[in-house]
A and B are shown apart, each in its own frame.
Chain A
Amino acid sequence: MLSCAEFLAEFGDYLDNVAEPALRAHLEGHLHECKTCQVIVDSTRKTIQIVTESDSFSFPVANVESMVQQVMARVRQGT
């Protein structure tokens, strides 16, 4: 039986759904018994979803073309 610390050190691939079957079974064995790690897995998955879907650092599409022209002007200036 894994400890919680060991579970937390190993569950990255499980979150990304790429864990090898043996590791997955090992981790799920722990999850079945451990309410705390169930909460951590559920809330970490929700964290990933929130972060992935946010526009916190997005650059508006409308501003792209002016940026392209500014960069190319400096490129041509230097060549």
Chain B
Amino acid sequence: MGHSAAKKNAASGPYSGLAAAYGFIPNLFQAQDKLPHVVDAEERLIQAVLVSEDSLSRSQKESVLQCVARARENAYCMALYGQTGPIIAREADSTLINFTVKLAKYGPWISASDLAGLRSAGFDQLAILEAVATAALGQMLCTLANGLRPPLDSEGGSPESTVLPEVPLPLDWTEPHAPYLAAQPPLAGDLPAYALLREQLGFVPNLFKLQCLSSSLLEAEVGLLESILFPEDHLTRVQKENILLLLSAANLNTYFVAVHSQVLDALGIPIEQSDRVAEDYHQARLSTEEVNLLDELQKFALPLLPSESGTRGQTPGNAPKKPFNAERLRQIGFTDTQVVEAVAMAALANFLNTLQFGLGAVPDFPPRRVFSPKDLYRFPGKARPTCDAVLSADPDADLVARVQNGESDAFEELVRRHTRRLVGTLGGILGDMDEARDATQEVFLKAFEHMGRFQGRSKFSTWLTSIAINTGTEILRKRRPSESLEEEDDTGFRPLQIQSWAKNPEQMFAASQMDALVRQAVLGLPQKYRVAVLLRDINQFSTEDAAAALNLSVPALKARVLRGRLMLRESLAPHFIRSEKADA
């Protein structure tokens, strides 16, 4: 990979946290210098997991990392953490090491009895959380090293210096029915990390609720998602979710297969398509490039029992027989940065999967499949709670097909149907109706030009609206370079106006005055909430169509709409608070 950058100043450079953690900046992170925001997030995770000493000591955590590196037979990480052997000073340390080796090698077989063993040896809830998070970090670093292949660090130790204790092959596997930690509050609405998860996913997954004992760890993990998964600068969100889905299936992680299938569904990808990606992505309707990408990335699946490898479908044996081939991906058009990002996604998948194996988080909604070492089998279909409707037929489909077949005059009726709504949307984004009218023309021209790319995965009106939002955002960026859909503060919002409103507020002002009040209030919203309210309440889009237009999950769209409505209420309240005059 491209890691020719000169070593950064270890004492005060941009990765000084890494220098503080390791005493130097490991080549593994320099190999990711095309994605500095990802390295920043990894650095924060390492600080939270490895450097902070809450319950486990630094030496205990380094022993965990050594064991994972050895279990994965990863020479780079063995050297990085291999300057001393695993610290086994007490009987309890031996229990910790044995647990780590089982989690690293046989994650799906971890059970409540393994956790009971740790508790018997004196490890409290926080220590167990730290042990699992450290092992997950180890899996992530090994995956990064397998993909990026950095040269050994001259400051590191020898790759051969650790000795792995023997852990018997597990025989019995049981589906976990309850989490292994009892630290889950019923609702924890005030942590910033939870606020961001609600914003992006619409709910706080059980896996993160289980980690409420350590807010610094939670924030670092959510920061990792924010830096690697949510942006679409290189790979698309759908491509990233497919990578997470594929590897979760290959790792036999039912929890995350359910999560990523659900997210993809909310992004407009039919659930049957996600089923195919999980079972055999060659049968899924993916482009040749995407199939090749998954071909390479499935090599990062965590090793499982050799005897079970035959049941895993697309995932070959115990360890990858063929190494990850970055060059193959470059030859078919992926950029260096996309390749690094894809490896980072695989590392994220293995990190999250290992956390789930260790903590035993139960699915947030009924999984369609349970992935077990023995079998794959379907659950009877059940309603999925975070998607409350299916796409209805597209009333524009016939006209779209005619335009795609070269009948450009059919485009006229599409323009007629959608002009008012698009001008309104762009007026709400730009705050100027004349500018909105000009921008609407540009949107229609872009749509006509790219009509061949429209594949009918969403309604035409949804696709058109997403072009309008992008066009409006581009104009705003030129006008105000600092503003974007994503830059607003995600911390909690608390209503301040708590006085009752008049019984019939709409009768308190003339229509033109009311329009002006609403316009002012809507334009005063941060952009991401403004657009959500525009689509949902002013343009009367369904929740699903609005989510698709914004490329958000349904829960995330709902969260934005709710926040926008509450902020509007706050802004309008001074005009409509109950008074004797108003209610007269």
Contact = CB atoms under 8 A, between A and B. Distances in A.
Contacts of B495: 8, 40
B393 interface: no
B558 interface: yes
Which of A2, A3, A8, A78 has the most chain B CB within a 10 Å cutoff? Answer: A8
A78 B445 contact: yes
Contact of B568 (A13, A42, A51): A51
Contacts of B522: 51, 56-57
Interface size class of B (residues with CB under 8 A): 35 or more
A58 B420 contact: yes
A64 B561 contact: no
B447 to A, nearest CB: 10
A35 to B, nearest CB: 9
Contacts of A36: 498
Contact of B187 (A2, A15, A42, A54): A2
Contacts of B558: 12-13
Nearest to B408: A79
B40 to A, nearest CB: 29
Nearest to A60: B420
B437 A57 contact: no
B86 interface: no
B55 interface: no
Nearest to A55: B515
A58 to B, nearest CB: 6
B77 to A, nearest CB: 40
Interface in B189-214: 189-190, 198
B540 A52 contact: yes
A64 B506 contact: no
A54 B518 CA distance: 7
B515 A54 contact: yes
B559 A51 contact: no
Contact of B501 (A16, A42, A55): A42
Interface in A37-79: 39-40, 42-44, 46-59, 61, 64-65, 67-68, 70-72, 74-76, 78-79
Interface in A8-22: 8-13, 15-16, 18, 20
Interface string B504-522: 0110000100111011001
Contact of A47 (B388, B441, B499, B568): B568
Contact of B534 (A39, A49, A57): A57
Interface string B386-426: 00100000000000000000001001100110011001110
Contact of B441 (A3, A46, A55, A71): A71
Interface of B: 187, 189-190, 198, 385, 388, 408, 411-412, 415-416, 419-420, 423-425, 427-428, 433, 436-437, 440-441, 444-445, 448-449, 492, 494-495, 497-501, 505-506, 511, 514-516, 518-519, 522, 533-534, 537-538, 540, 543, 558-559, 561-562, 565-566, 568-569, 572-573, 576
**Nearest 8 pairs of A and B residues by beta carbon:** A12-B562, A59-B423, A56-B519, A54-B518, A57-B427, A57-B424, A47-B569, A43-B501
